[in-house]
Structure 1
Amino acid sequence: MKKKVTAVFDIGKTNKKFFLFDQDFKEVFREYTKFDQIVDQDGYPTEDLHKLQIWLKAVFNRILASEQYDIKAINFSSYGASLVHLDENGEAISPLYNYTKPISEEIVNRFYQSYGPALTFIQQTGSSKEGLLNSGMQLYWLKYTKPEVFKKIKYSLHLPQYLSYIFTGIPLSEYTSIGCHTSLWDYNKKDYHNWVYQEELHKILPPIVSTETSINMNYNGKRIKIGVGIHDSSAALLPYVRSLKDPFILVSTGTWSIALNPFTSTPLSAEEVSKNCINYMRINGKQVKASRLFLGNEYKIQVQKLAQLYGVAPDYHKSVSFNEQAYYEITKEFEHLFKWESIENTPKVCKTELPYDTFEDAYHHLMIELVKLQVNSIQIAKGSEEISKLYVDGGFSNNDVYIKLLSHYMRNMELRTTDASLGSALGAAISIADTKLNSKFLKKNYALKKHVPLIIK
């Protein structure tokens, strides 16, 4: 008898992944691939949409014909800030412009002169000033620098919705993609910002539906429920929102460490904006306050330097466990010693000068400084809300020194770590399922682990 499954395409910038989940959301199949990038008209690297579409169809059709699995539903998770522009025939009329592509400061300044001031605009849209990382800016840029492309656009779809469109042929928009640093959404009005209407961009943005929407259709002779896609960060948050009753902060760690607060209703303050705080969006359109820190990137830079300085292997840092005595000695008369390369230095350190004889001691000092920054980032996301639960997933969830220090400095919150390696894909599967989750879900599917604060002598 065939196993009933939900299929999910989880499309990252590097890895393209396909998963099958059973009715208990257990992974039963996965397939990965990578594509070489192509370049856009300006020679800038970008996604090969044609190759991606061929792979999506080939993988899905192969699994659909399988004697082992019975696909009941399919959904899509992908990175945001990326639009696919379709003409009246439903064909992509331009490359998918990479959100790291630089654009003219003149265009950006003109935009904020027309629709600013910048601080007010950022507070309204929950989107910092970041060029094409604001997908709304891409539409403005296209309209005024590539009018011959812009006038051919019938619909502009965010990438997760384009993936769904490949299978349904129905152009749609949904909240999580619209609400994630796009500069399109006014969180106060709960509608597109006025500038979108003034530039008449609403005419090429498809109808908005709930992220939980699915389309029941006949695909290759089989009845399948097809989701509308979901932004990957919002997808990773969803299993927590669905399974936990009490308010919480989720710290998603990696290159960026992002503290997510889905339980806030207050607009971003000027101070929060100045501290790199933006909004993400839940599947129901509610805001998620997100405090961002380039923690993983800075960590990578600094441990490479320490490895060279102390003559140890590049991955030696992975074997270092928390040492209480080292912590005690370092914090007796603590001072900041590290000069950051990718994070603003506060207080200012002109040069890294370390008094330690061992890598372990220097590493502990580094982690104390980084975790203090992390604590500050969590406090920014938390604001004045009464929240006592703290969850950490991603790369740092397995770092013993980071977790011990965080549980110590955040002892007023209950800290738990999770192994959410399937986070975005699992969130996409859950978003179109009718199943209700409970608190046991994280324990069962995410290796939930509770951490008790240290008792420092």
Structure 2
Amino acid sequence: MKTKVTAVFDIGKTNKKFFLFDKNFQEVHKEYISFDEIVDEDGHPTENLSALQKWLKEVFNRILTADEFEVKAINFSTYGASFVHIDKEGNPLTPLYNYTKQLPEQIISSFFKTYGPKEKFLKNTGCADLSMLNSGLQLYWIKKTKPDIFAKIKYSLHLPQYLSYIFSGIPVSEYTSIGCHTALWDYGKRDYHSWVYKEGIDEILPPIVSTETSINMNYNGNRIKIGVGIHDSSAALLPYVRSLKKKFVLISTGTWSIAFNPFTEKPISEDLTDKNSINYMRINGKPVKASRLFLGNEYKIQVEKLNEVFGVDEDYHRTVSFDYDTYFEIMQDFTPSFKWESIEDDDMPSITYYSYHKYEHAYHQLMTELVLLQIKCIKKAIGNDTISRLYVDGGFSDNDLYIKLLSHYFRDKKLRTTDASLGSALGAAISISDTALNSKFLKKNYALKKHVPFIVS
């Protein structure tokens, strides 16, 4: 008998993954690929959209004919801040512009001259001044600089919804993509910002539906439920929201460490100069307050320097466990020692100096300083909300120093780690499922672990 499965395409900037999950959300099949980037008309690297589309169809059509699986549903999780602009025939009109591409300064200044003041606008839309990362401004840029192309746009689809459109032919918008620091959404009004209507942008944005929406249709002779797609960060948050009854903050660690507070009463940061306080939306349109730290990127930079200074193997840092005596020593006359390369911090020295002869001491110093930055980041996400539980997933969830130091500094909170390697893909499967999750879900599916603070002697 065939196993009934939900298929999920989980599209990252580097790796493109395909999963099949059974009715208990257990992974039963996985494959992945990566494509070389192409360039847009300005020579900026971008996604090879045609290669991606071809792979999606090939993989899915092959799975539909597999003897061991019966696909009942399909959904899509992708990175955000990315639009696909299609004409009336459904063909893309432009490259998938990379969110790392800089908008021309005159476009930004023109926009804020019309729709400013800048600080108020950023506050209302819950995002920082991130240029093309505010994907809504991409539409303004195209309208002003490429009017011929803009006139041909029938719909502008966020990437998750474009992937859904490839299979369903039905254009939609949904909350998690709209709310991903796009500068489109007015969090106070709970509607598109007035600039969207004044520029006529709303006319090319399809109707908004719940992220839980699915389209039942006949696809190549198979009755399949097709999801509308979901932004990957919101997807990764969903299993926690669905299975936990008490309020929490999720710290999703990796190149960026992002602290998510989905229970906030006050989503928008008061600090208008803080570019690392951003907003997301839950699948029902409720705001998620988030604060980010370039943790993994800075860690990689500093560890490479430590390895060189102390002459150790590049993987040596993975062998260092927390040692209380070492920690006690560096805390006696603690002062910041590291000058960050990719993080702005008022307390950092003008140059990095190593005051220790042992790698282990220098590494403890590094991790202590990074965790202190992480604490500031988490506290910004918590704000004035009463949160007593922290969940950590991603690359740092198995870093012994990171976890022990975090539990030490947050002694008043319960700290848990999870192995959420399937994070966003599993969230995409759950979002179109009618299955209710309980508190045992994380323990069963995410290898939930409890952590207690170390005892100070």
State the alpha-carbon separation in 2 of the partners of residues 454 and 169 from structure 1: 55
Determine if contact 2:267/2:279 at 8 Å carries over to the other structure.
no
Determine if contact 2:239/2:427 at 8 Å carries over to the other structure.
yes
* Structure 1 residue 265: Cα displacement: 2.1
State the alpha-carbon separation in 1 of the partners of residues 225 and 280 from structure 2: 26
State the alpha-carbon separation in 2 of the partners of residues 273 and 430 from structure 1: 36
Q: Deviations over 1:107-145 (max 9, x none)?
A: 111111211112111111111111111110100010111
Which residue number corresponds to residue 315 of structure 1? 315
Q: Deviations over 1:172-208 (max 9, x none)?
A: 0000000001000001100000000010100000000
SS at match of 2:391: strand
Which residue number corresponds to residue 264 of structure 2? 264
State the alpha-carbon separation in 1 of the partners of residues 239 and 181 from structure 2: 22
State the alpha-carbon separation in 2 of the partners of residues 95 and 351 from structure 1: 42
Which residue number corresponds to residue 241 of structure 2? 241
Which residue number corresponds to residue 209 of structure 1? 209
Q: Deviations over 1:283-326 (max 9, x none)?
A: 00000000011111111111110000000011111110000000
* Structure 1 residue 357: Cα displacement: 0.6
Q: Deviations over 1:412-433 (max 9, x none)?
A: 1100000000000000000000
Instruction: Provide closer, same or farther for how the CA distance between residues 190 and 273 of structure 1 changes in structure 2, counting only shifts above 3 A.
Output: farther
Which residue number corresponds to residue 119 of structure 2? 119
* Structure 1 residue 272: Cα displacement: 6.7
118-127 vs 157-166, greater mean Cα deviation: 118-127
State the alpha-carbon separation in 2 of the partners of residues 270 and 246 from structure 1: 26
Determine if contact 1:261/1:290 at 8 Å carries over to the other structure.
yes
Amino acid of the structure 2 residue aligned with 1:449 = K
State the alpha-carbon separation in 2 of the partners of residues 233 and 124 from structure 1: 21
Determine if contact 1:404/1:454 at 8 Å carries over to the other structure.
yes
Kindly indicate whether residue 194 of structure 2 is the aligned counterpart of residue 194 of structure 1: yes
Determine if contact 1:188/1:267 at 8 Å carries over to the other structure.
no
Which residue number corresponds to residue 423 of structure 1? 423
How do residues 2-401 of structure 1 correspond to structure 2 at under 5 angstroms?
Answer: 2-271=2-271, 274=274, 276-401=276-401
Determine if contact 1:123/1:267 at 8 Å carries over to the other structure.
no
Q: Deviations over 1:329-384 (max 9, x none)?
A: 11111111111111113214111111101100000001111101111111110011
Determine if contact 1:124/1:267 at 8 Å carries over to the other structure.
no
Q: List, as ranges, runs of 4+ consecutive aligned residues in structure 1 with deviation greater than 6 Å.
A: none
Per the normalisation by structure 1, the TM-score is 0.99
* Structure 1 residue 66: Cα displacement: 0.8
Determine if contact 1:251/1:393 at 8 Å carries over to the other structure.
yes
Determine if contact 2:290/2:381 at 8 Å carries over to the other structure.
yes
SS at match of 2:271: helix
SS at match of 1:43: coil
Identical residues among aligned pairs (%): 68
SS at match of 2:152: coil
Q: Deviations over 1:152-180 (max 9, x none)?
A: 10100000000000000000000000000
State the alpha-carbon separation in 1 of the partners of residues 402 and 272 from structure 2: 24
State the alpha-carbon separation in 2 of the partners of residues 272 and 362 from structure 1: 35
Gaps (5+ residues) in structure 2?
none
Q: How many residues align?
A: 457
State the alpha-carbon separation in 2 of the partners of residues 320 and 148 from structure 1: 58
State the alpha-carbon separation in 2 of the partners of residues 447 and 112 from structure 1: 47
State the alpha-carbon separation in 1 of the partners of residues 199 and 80 from structure 2: 22
State the alpha-carbon separation in 2 of the partners of residues 75 and 161 from structure 1: 10
State the alpha-carbon separation in 2 of the partners of residues 274 and 25 from structure 1: 38
90-99 vs 423-432, greater mean Cα deviation: 90-99
422-431 vs 148-157, greater mean Cα deviation: 148-157
Which residue number corresponds to residue 414 of structure 2? 414
Amino acid of the structure 2 residue aligned with 1:64 = L
Determine if contact 1:123/1:273 at 8 Å carries over to the other structure.
no
State the alpha-carbon separation in 2 of the partners of residues 319 and 275 from structure 1: 34
SS at match of 1:151: helix
